[in-house]
Structure 1
Amino acid sequence: MAKEKIRCSWCLKDDLYKAYHDEEWGTPLHDDDKLFELLCLEGAQAGLSWYTILNKRENYRKAFDGFDAKKMAKYGDKKIEALLQDAGIVRNRLKVNAFVQNAKTYLAIQKEFGSFDKYIWQFVGGKPIINKVKGMGDVPVKTEISDAMSKDLLKRGFKFVGSTICYAFMQASGMVNDHADDCWKKK
């Protein structure tokens, strides 16, 4: 009989969370478009649970043209109103408008730095920070680095990128490895 893998305690809720944990969370991500999608979705989570957003992720991808920033940056009032009628996403005007603004800012950052990856990973010196995590109480909700990232993103025009959102983004994108020390993914 195969022994069950030891995982971080937060992901044991169901198979969707386990798959997200095993295949994505904490794995260093360097694809600009996927980083942009993830940052948008982390912002959509504000005030909600990640589980809610993860359940709606495919709907978000469909509604926002696969997170194609060039298309999103051109969304006008008609498209925004249509998005606000889409029951498959969180229908919050501020968050929908933020996605459009964030697309414009993301494109400007790509132009300035050559890639969003180069820009965003500079906050951790280009390599993941590996934290000691015995239990969930060892995991911060924000750090000086997420504070700096948030401040810079906000200054550039991003919305819904507070320090806590930035730290969750850093964890999800593998910029920070906060897997529990006994989790199979820690290595």
Structure 2
Amino acid sequence: MNKKRCGWCEGNALYEKYHDEEWGKPVHDDTILFEFLLLETFQAGLSWITILRKRENFRNAFDDFDYKKIAKYEQDKIDELLQDAGIIRNKLKVHAAVSNAQAFIKVQDEFGSFSKYFWNFTDGKPIDNKFETLKHVPATTPLSDSISKDMKKRGFKFVGSTVIYAHMQATGMVNDHVLDCWTRS
């Protein structure tokens, strides 16, 4: 018997695995939150499947998403990344990965962890949306607008409201699995 899933992932094994095992599950680990933030910023303007297909290349290129190492990248490492055909070679996004790692560490210093900062926007609890179909799922919300604005003030780049809402979905801050998706049962 086939599982009923959210329609955006159906028909692609990689998408389905990501949907079933990761998407919408609450994440409080700073390293994983940074991984998704880095991947979401590179996804801006592209499809998520493009990023998923390159995820392991990103993991290798960006030192297993070690934000402490990434924050210290110098020009030679940036130049190396810009030559790496396994990732998205966008100069602004590569530079943003470095500055975002630096901003991420500053947030950790201020709040004790990025997770505390991020989840504070929902008082530490996921928002359980109960959308019947994908057409009801928004691309942004007033909350993603607010988080985006705050992150930009803190020096983050490529964190518009759409990117932040996708990050909220990926890391389980919001549960946007449609009502008939098997993951809700």
**How far apart in 2 are the matches of 1:132 and 1:69?**
34
Match of 1:74 in 2: 72
**How far apart in 1 are the matches of 2:111 and 2:72?**
22
Q: How does 1:153-164 map to 2 (within 5 A)?
A: 153-164=151-162
**How far apart in 2 are the matches of 1:13 and 1:122?**
36
What is the deviation of 1:124? 1.5
Q: Is the 1:177–1:186 contact (alpha carbons within 8 Å) kept by the matching residues of 2?
A: no
Match of 1:34 in 2: 32
Q: How does 1:117-136 map to 2 (within 5 A)?
A: 117-136=115-134
What is the deviation of 1:152? 0.6
> CA-to-partner distance for each residue in 1:98-145, whole Å, 9 max, x for gaps?
000000000111111001100001112211111121111110000010
Task: Find the residue that maps to 1:124 and give its secondary structure.
Answer: coil
1:145 corresponds, among 139, 143, 146, to: 143
Unpaired runs of at least 5, structure 2: none
1:18 corresponds, among 16, 25, 47, to: 16
Asked if 1:52 corresponds to 2:69, the answer is no
Moved over 6 A (4+): none
2:175 corresponds, among 171, 174, 177, to: 177
What is the deviation of 1:13? 2.8
**How far apart in 2 are the matches of 1:57 and 1:13?**
19
Aligned residues: 185
**How far apart in 2 are the matches of 1:125 and 1:164?**
21
Match of 2:84 in 1: 86
What is the deviation of 1:95? 0.2
What is the deviation of 1:185? 1.0
Q: TM-score, normalization: structure 1?
A: 0.97
**How far apart in 2 are the matches of 1:148 and 1:173?**
17
**How far apart in 1 are the matches of 2:66 and 2:8?**
31
Match of 1:166 in 2: 164
**How far apart in 2 are the matches of 1:116 and 1:186?**
27
Task: Find the residue that maps to 1:134 and give its secondary structure.
Answer: coil
Instruction: Compute the RMSD of aligned alpha carbons.
Output: 0.7
**How far apart in 2 are the matches of 1:63 and 1:128?**
31
Q: TM-score, normalization: structure 2?
A: 0.98
**How far apart in 1 are the matches of 2:51 and 2:11?**
15
Match of 2:101 in 1: 103
Identity of aligned residues (%): 62
